[in-house]
Amino acid sequence: AANKNILMLPGDGVGPEVVAEVRRVADWLAAERAVGFDIAEGLVGGAAIDAEGAPISEATMQKAMDADAVLLGAVGGPKWDGLPFEQKPERALLRLRKDMELFANLRPAMVFDALVDSSSLKPDLVRGLDIMIVRELTGGVYFGEPRGIETLPDGQRRGVNTQVYTTEEIRRVAAVAFELARKRGNRVCSVEKANVMEAGVLWREEVQRLHDESYPNVELTHMYADNCAMQLVRRPKQFDVIVTDNLFGDMLSDEAAMLTGSLGMLPSASLGAADATGRRRALYEPVHGSAPDIAGQGIANPLATLLSFAMMLRYSFDLDSEARLVEQAVEAVLARGLRTADIVQEGTTTVSTREMGDALLEQL
Amino acid sequence: AANKNILMLPGDGVGPEVVAEVRRVADWLAAERAVGFDIAEGLVGGAAIDAEGAPISEATMQKAMDADAVLLGAVGGPKWDGLPFEQKPERALLRLRKDMELFANLRPAMVFDALVDSSSLKPDLVRGLDIMIVRELTGGVYFGEPRGIETLPDGQRRGVNTQVYTTEEIRRVAAVAFELARKRGNRVCSVEKANVMEAGVLWREEVQRLHDESYPNVELTHMYADNCAMQLVRRPKQFDVIVTDNLFGDMLSDEAAMLTGSLGMLPSASLGAADATGRRRALYEPVHGSAPDIAGQGIANPLATLLSFAMMLRYSFDLDSEARLVEQAVEAVLARGLRTADIVQEGTTTVSTREMGDALLEQL
Ligand SMILES: CC(C)[C@H](C(=O)O)[C@@H](O)C(=O)O
Ligand SMILES: CC(C)[C@H](C(=O)O)[C@@H](O)C(=O)O
């Protein structure tokens, strides 16, 4: 098989440190499991602003469009906080999502047995938690027009954004949710505010229609977004797959992530549509941010990025057994009691980013 | 002083049961503390749909506009779930908010010492929790135009809503938050998605400007809504007053409510602007819904509605010592170990709605 082209965009803060460990694991896989990777690197976020004058250059965008998969570290930091809206590091994320048409953002929220006590929630409520949130990522209020700030005749200002979804946008992301559910608990909960927003009424109707037409055997329920925000706290294990729009998904996936108590462990995948050859654009990144407060100290947790790479193996390259290998290595090092500073517990050994990488390679 | 005109709208499900207990407390206050109330009742929600053909009749709307304060129970239930968008029981809430111009929704999330263990969160994280969320209630995507569902030439449908805020809408609700903060912990956290939405950029700028002009001694911070959804789970006690828009406020106030583990205890107030005489329209209601599953059984918790009435005494009638009297009675019955079924714990006595009301009157 041809080599897989991976573009790595380490970005800012702890991004470069955690991506470096993934690169070592990728090299190991290439050497030991005869999986061929061609790995290129590029600049993104603040790093790209500083070196190239924009949060992502046209050349890097092109590489991302052409790659078989992209691995992103993190973007942003206090250095670039003062920049206006259109020039901030985060614009690179929005540009990548939009231009690559990454409409389905997969955000697993799972609790590793070894880390149950890290949660804010009582252990019984989160032990074994395994939710998959599917967030629509290229539509809704993030990209809707008209948008902007105008000055009114009386001197007041008015800020406008537009929430908008079409049948096709809803169906394609819902299909991803139903497909995933089939391989998991077979249950999808679709979340909107159909009691207040027409865009939510449409969302509910289209998800229901796709279900009835093509996925009648998957259990489908509907829930209002405010209730979902509650239920995630009350009894998170009631959920299997949640599918929701861009803005609700932004909040609910972060809330769900925090329920696990260990952001440093959570991966994500953002997927486009498959073309005729089955190839789909895809970007993988850890849920945690650039963590400027600990950047450069070599203490960041590389596991979320590594698990994002495992998602890449599974969803972009169909290398399920290699993905499992990586995931099992992560569980094994946790079981051995190794912890980076963010997930340290009594009776465990605190290790650096690099030492965690060493332990993983050893394990593999 | 002239009698206070209160309109009670018991509504659906457990609404009538819990409002009945408040009425008894109001009668007690009138008799014992020489506070004159003229209490009228009206229909709202499903009850109004069934009897009057609309979720709220024009006559009831007029009474609400004229009242010194409105106390609402709850609306909705399975019987009316199938109705189209514009005819649902919830429309009455949106109509009341909009026509009465109740732009500031006060949603305290507090944990009573006796109920710390009801929370999903570990006790240390929530003991003493006392957050005040101020949610903008008459603007944003709830009411923005254009809105609706249209059919496109290719047969697809398109659902649209508009998020919109003006300078004045932002300033008046932020002012409420700053005023409240001054009487509490003196800290306001303003929440939006200024990294993605221009309406959020405007929100942040206007809140900051009002702060600098008029409330420079209140500590003001800004936070993205997704981060706030996380931080509420991670370390809820970091917050004093949170001010945010209608949609974010809907989700965040419900999430915060569920952190306390006892929805049956949480009141709310929705306030309009004060006129030249200092009078402001206001509506008070419990945070919990109509709970159709337990309606009619006489086991619902009347305390959230009673605490909403206490907020009425404080915010509408300036009867701070009467408000405190009611709040202290609530704490006292909890301390005596009395619990309705929703907050029952080991070693406590389960009482009915009416028995809880009896205990409160006895306490008073
Ligand atoms: C950085 C920001 C633009 C982004 C978003 O809101 O989508 C982030 O919160 C995320 O969820 O990836
Ligand atoms: C019933 C619904 C319209 C309402 C809202 O979304 O505002 C409710 O969730 C609330 O928070 O009072």
DSSP B322-342: HHHHHHHHHHHHHHTTEE-GG
The amino acid sitting at B29 is L
User: Parallel, antiparallel, or unpaired: how do β-strands B241-244 and B130-136 relate?
Assistant: parallel
Residue bearing tokens 């006392």: B130
Token pair of B325 as six digits: 């009297």
Which residues belong to CATH 3.40.718.10 in chain A? 1-107+263-364, 130-259
Determine the Cα–Cα distance for residues A46 and A78; give it in Å rounded to an integer. 10
Give the pLDDT band (50/70/90) at residue A18: very high
Q: Which atom of ligand 1 is nearest to the CA of A268?
A: 12
Active-site residue, A98 included: no
For residue A246, report the distance from its CA to the centre of ligand 1, in Å: 9
- Residue A124: exposure state from Cβ atoms within 10 A (0-12, 13-18, ≥19): exposed
The average pLDDT across A348-356 equals: 96
Please state, in angstroms and rounded to a whole number, the distance separating the CA atoms of residues A340 and A351. Answer: 5
Q: What is the mean pLDDT of residues A156-163?
A: 98
Chain B residues 110-149 within an 8 A CB cutoff of chain A:
120-122, 125, 141-142, 144, 147-149
Task: Select which of A12, A68, A240, A250 is catalytic.
Answer: A250
Distance, CA of A357 to CA of A71 (rounded, Å): 17
> Per the structure block, which two tokens stand in for B15?
């609404």
B122 is in an annotated binding site: no
What is the tens place of the pLDDT at every residue in A252-295? 999 999 999 999 999 999 999 988 888 899 999 999 999 999 99
Range scoring the smallest mean pLDDT among B2-6, B92-96, B163-167, B301-305: B2-6
DSSP secondary structure, A259-278, as one string: HTT-GGG-EEEEEEEE-TTS
Question: Which percentage of chain A shows pLDDT scores above 90?
Answer: 93
Higher pLDDT, B33 or B228: B228
**Parts of chain B belonging to CATH 3.40.718.10:** 1-109+261-364, 130-259
Rounded Cα distance, B309 and B323, in Å: 8
Would the pLDDT of A55 be above 80? yes
Q: Tell me the helices (H) and strands (E) count for chain A, helix number first.
A: 12, 14
CB of A269 within 8 A of CB of A105?
yes
Instruction: Tell me which ligand sits closest to the C-alpha of residue B11.
Output: 2
B237 touches chain A (CB under 8 A): no
Cis-peptide into B16, omega within 30 deg: no
Closest atom of ligand 1 relative to the A75 alpha carbon: 1
Q: Which CATH number fits domain B130-259: 3.30.1330.20, 3.90.79.10, 3.40.718.10, 3.40.1520.20?
A: 3.40.718.10
CA separation, residue B309 to residues A345, B21, B302 (Å): 46, 11, 11
Q: Is the CB of B158 less than 8 angstroms away from the CB of A202?
A: yes
Beta bridge partners of A274: A280
The answer to whether B193 is a known catalytic residue is yes
Give the nearest partner residue to B255 out of A141, A142, A233, using CB atoms.
A233
**What percent of chain B has a predicted confidence (pLDDT) above 70?**
100
Kindly report the nearest CA distance between residue A222 and chain B, in angstroms.
Answer: 12
Task: Please count the CA atoms within 13 angstroms of the CA of A342 that sit on its side-chain side.
Answer: 23
**Contact assignment for B157 to A206 by CB distance below 8 Å:** yes
**What pLDDT does residue A257 have?**
97
Query: What b-and-e string marks burial along A41-53, b requiring 16 or more CB atoms within 10 Å of the CB?
Result: bbbbbbbbbeebe
Q: Which helix (H) or strand (E) holds B189?
A: strand B187-192
CATH number of B1-109+261-364: 3.40.718.10
Cα separation, B98 vs A39, in Å, equals 57
Question: Which has the closest alpha carbon to A197: B72, B290, B94?
Answer: B94
pLDDT in the model for residue A86: 87
Structural contact between residues A339 and A350, judged by C-beta atoms closer than 8 angstroms: yes
Nearest to B254 among A149, A203, A230 (CB): A230
Residue B303: CA atoms inside 13 Å, Cβ hemisphere, count? 27
To the nearest 10 degrees (0 to 180), the angle between helices A225-234 and B246-259 is 20
B81-91 confidence digits (pLDDT tens): 889 888 999 99
Catalytic residue among A50, A226, A318, A320: A226
Task: Tell the residue number behind the tokens 């590029």, with chain if given.
Answer: A42
The domain defined by A1-107+263-364 folds into: Isopropylmalate Dehydrogenase (3.40.718)
pLDDT at residue A33 above 90? no
pLDDT of residue B33: 83
Contact A193 B247 (CB under 8 A): yes
Asked whether the beta carbons of B252 and B225 are under 8 A apart, the reply is: yes
Taking a contact as any Cβ pair under 8 Å apart, which residues of chain A between 246 and 285 contact chain B? 247-248, 250-252, 254-255, 257-259
- pLDDT tens per residue across span A179-189: 999 999 999 99
Q: How far is A209 from chain B (nearest CA, A)?
A: 13
Whole-angstrom distance, CA of residue A309 vs CA of residue A285:
8
Q: Which helix (H) or strand (E) holds B160?
A: strand B157-166
For A83-116, write each residue's pLDDT tens digit: 988 899 999 999 999 999 999 999 999 999 999 9
Chain A nearest CA to B255, separation (Å)? 5
- For A40, A168, A280, B165, B218, the CA distances from A271, given in Å and listed in that order, are 20, 16, 7, 33, 44
pLDDT at A1 over 80: no
Tens-digit pLDDT profile for residues A310-349: 999 999 999 999 999 999 999 999 999 999 999 988 899 9
Q: Closest Cα of chain B to A166: distance in Å?
A: 4
**Cα B100 to middle of ligand 2, angstroms:** 16
**A266, B112, B351 from B334: Cα distances, Å:** 41, 9, 11
The model's pLDDT over B211-250, given as tens digits with 9 standing for 90+, comes to 999 999 999 999 999 999 999 999 999 999 999 999 999 9
Interface A-B: count of C-beta contacts within 8 A: 184
Q: Which residues of B are less than 8 Å from A191 in CB distance?
A: none
Exposure b/e, B161-194, CB count within 10 A at least 16 = b: bbbbbbbbbbbbbbbbbbebbeeebeebbbbbbb
The closest residue, in CA terms, to atom 7 on ligand 2 is B250
- A122, A160, A231 ranked by CB distance to B162: nearest: A160
Beta partners for residue B71, in sequence order:
B8, B284
Structural tokens at position B99: 């026509």
Name every residue whose Cβ is closer than 8 Å to that of residue B291 and which is 6 or more positions away in sequence: B13, B14, B74, B300
Ligand positioned closest to the Cα atom of B197: 1
**Is A178 annotated as a binding-site member?**
no
Q: Are B192 and B225 in contact (CB under 8 A)?
A: yes
Contact B121, B259 (CB under 8 A): yes
Half-sphere exposure of A42 (CA within 13 A, CB side): 25
**Token pair of A15, please?**
């991004």
pLDDT at residue A355 is higher than 90: yes
Residue A152: CB atoms within 10 Å: 11
What does the mean pLDDT of chain A come to? 96
Task: Give me the sign of the Cα torsion angle A226, A229, A235, A236.
Answer: positive
The ligand 1 site (C-beta within 6 Å) comprises A 90, 93-94, 250; B 195-196, 226
A190 in Cβ contact with A203 (< 8 Å):
yes
- The total number of residues written for chain B in this structure: 364
pLDDT (mean) for A292-304: 96
Chain A environment of B204 (Cβ under 8 Å): none
Task: Report which bound ligand comes closest to the CA of B196.
Answer: 1
Q: How confident is the model at residue B1 (pLDDT cuts 50, 70, 90)?
A: low
Residue A77 has pLDDT above 80, yes or no: yes
Looking at residue B82, its pLDDT comes to 87
Torsion of CA B336, B342, B345, B348, to 10 degrees: 30
